[in-house]
Every structure is written in structure tokens, then in C-alpha cells.
Amino acid sequence: MKRNYSAFAEDIPPYSGPKAARETYADLKQLSAIPGHIYMRPELQILPGQRRFSKMSWLVPMLELLPPTSIGHLKEWGLSTVFVLAKNYNKLVHVWESITAMVELWHPQTNSFIFPEFEATIHLEELEIMLGLPCYQRGKESAISYTVEQINSWSILAYITTKKNDLYSMTSGMHVHLLPIAQWITSQCKRKTTNYTAIAKAAAICICGVILFLESDGAISFGNLSIIDSISEGMKIGQAVLGFLYAGLTSATLGGPFYGLVVALELWMGMHFQFWAMENPNTECKTMLNHLLAYVGG
């Protein structure tokens, strides 16, 4: 049974700095005993050791068909690293024990990991560097204008196709399905059409949807579709990506579904933590030969 945060908020002392956080570390660890917490969810612990994602079997074959011009657009939009990760998706290995352990330390009030002697979190600058995303320039906020309006997924997807049957297959409810978009890209590439920009935009939806904004069953929300669409217009998406990761960690901590940028979490862990073999603490762990850092120049 899921429990809302308000149901046990009184058990977590108000945040009052690192010293107080260290003093209440034992209490924070009790999050693991909350019904519905990730530690208690067997579906996220399917296999001991390592687990490989295989549901996106369509991703890599589709990317191998992309014309060089479309790939050039993706690089121009700042998606080079995301493209590399997506193209090596079948090789990536996620060590779920380490991810689960980190989620257990996530504090939903401070958006940080609480360790016995310190606290830490993933910063925007780190995220942008790890994923090669265009950097957010502080001080230029006045040059950015935002328009609040209802998101029309069909108007975004209409740049790819105007066929109603295709649009119906790509959307359902408040989500966009990535597989039909990938099938459209594949058909365009095999027919050797010259609609390179549309192919690049569709490919951006697929690779960002899988690497940055995946929620479940190969689908992304309309809101995240709009964020991905803004990449080609020069918008910086680092803040949205980081916020999505924070939201996913908080959701898992509070007994909800686990979603978000697992890739960024593991990249960050790989940069800041040294892993050692559990059987022999003196032996450095050598099982992470396909760690994500290997594909982003780490």
C-alpha cells in the first residue's frame, strides 16, 4: 500500500543543516521501512548483481539507419553525448544494488543524499557536463521568455507526420509512444527521403525519451515531449532533466514509481564513488566494464 508523504512527514525532523542531518541519519534510514519504499519493492530487484535493459530493442537498429545530415542536426542541438549513449544502449549495464542504495539515502525535503558525515546532490553544472548538454548561462535569464499555453502534442508531431493514423498510433492519453516514432524514422530512412530535419527531430524525441525522460513502457509525457521539441529551438533543457531526476528519486523514496534519469545518477556515482568487491573489500570492483562513463569519455 502506498503512503503519501504527509502520512509520515511528522517522522522526519525539519531540515536544519548538515549537522542536524548527521544527527538524524539513523532516523532517515528508517525510510527503508516505509511500505512501498524502493527497498521493499521486489520488481526493482529482479536480478542480483547487474541487469541489462532490453525492452528498447528497436532503438539501436533505428539509429544505425540515420542519415549523416540528421546526425549532424542532433550534434548541432547539443545531443552528441545522448546520441552516443543511445547508440550503445544495448551494451549499458545498470547495477541496481548501487542505485537502490542511493535512493534509500535520498531526502525528499532537501533533494540530496544524506550520508553519515556529509550530504551531496547532483548539480546542474555536473549534469550538463556529464551529458554534454548545452550549458545554462547564469545572468542571461532576462533574455529568455516563456509562454504558458496548453501543450498540443499533435502540433509538435505534425512536423514529423500529418497522417492521422500515425498520430493516433503515436499518442494515447497524456503520453507519446516512442516505438511508432522509431518505426516512422525507419521507413523514412529506408525510402531514402531527404526530410532530414524532421528525421532528426523524431530521432531527438526517441533518444531523449529513452535516455533522459523515460517513464514506463517506452512512453514519455506530453510535457517532456514539449521540452524535447524545444531543443531544436536552442532552449537549454538541463534544468528540466535534473528536475525530472529529482522527481523520480523522490517518487521512489515515497513509495511511488521509480523513473527519471538513471543514466545521470550512475554517471554521477561513477565520478564520485569508488566501488569495491563485496566479497573482498581490498579488491577494486572490475565488473563495471560497461559502465556509462566508458561511453562519455570518462
Please tell me the chain's helix, strand, coil percentages from 3-state DSSP, rounded to the nearest 5: 55, 5, 40
Residue 111's nearest CA partner among 1, 227, 254, 216 is 254
Count the domains in the chain. 1
Is 141 part of a structural domain of the chain?
Answer: no
> For every one of its 298 residues, what pLDDT tens digit does the chain have, with 9 covering 90 and above?
343 444 434 444 455 555 554 454 455 444 444 444 454 555 544 333 334 444 678 999 999 999 999 999 999 999 999 999 999 888 877 777 778 788 888 888 888 888 878 889 999 998 998 888 888 766 555 555 555 555 667 678 888 877 888 788 888 878 888 889 999 999 999 999 998 999 999 999 999 999 998 777 788 888 888 889 888 888 888 888 999 999 988 888 877 777 777 888 888 888 887 666 566 666 555 545 566 666 666 4
**Grid cell for residue 216:** 514506463
Give the SS3 label for residue 72: helix
The pTM of this model reads 0.75
Give the SS3 label for residue 99: helix
Amino acid at 285: C
Segments forming the whole domain that contains residue 125? 51-133+147-297
Is 287 part of a structural domain of the chain?
Answer: yes
E strands within the chain?
Answer: 51-52, 93-94, 106-107, 112-114, 119-120, 171-172, 175-177, 219-221
Would you give the DSSP letter of residue 44?
A: G
Is 20 part of a structural domain of the chain?
Answer: no
Is 158 part of a structural domain of the chain?
Answer: yes
Is 4 part of a structural domain of the chain?
Answer: no
Is 177 part of a structural domain of the chain?
Answer: yes
Q: What is the phi/psi pair of residue 213, to 5°?
A: -130, 20
Is 265 part of a structural domain of the chain?
Answer: yes
Is 14 part of a structural domain of the chain?
Answer: no
Separation CA 105–CA 115 (nearest Å): 7
For the chain, the straight-line distance linking the first and the last C-alpha, in angstroms and rounded, comes to 41
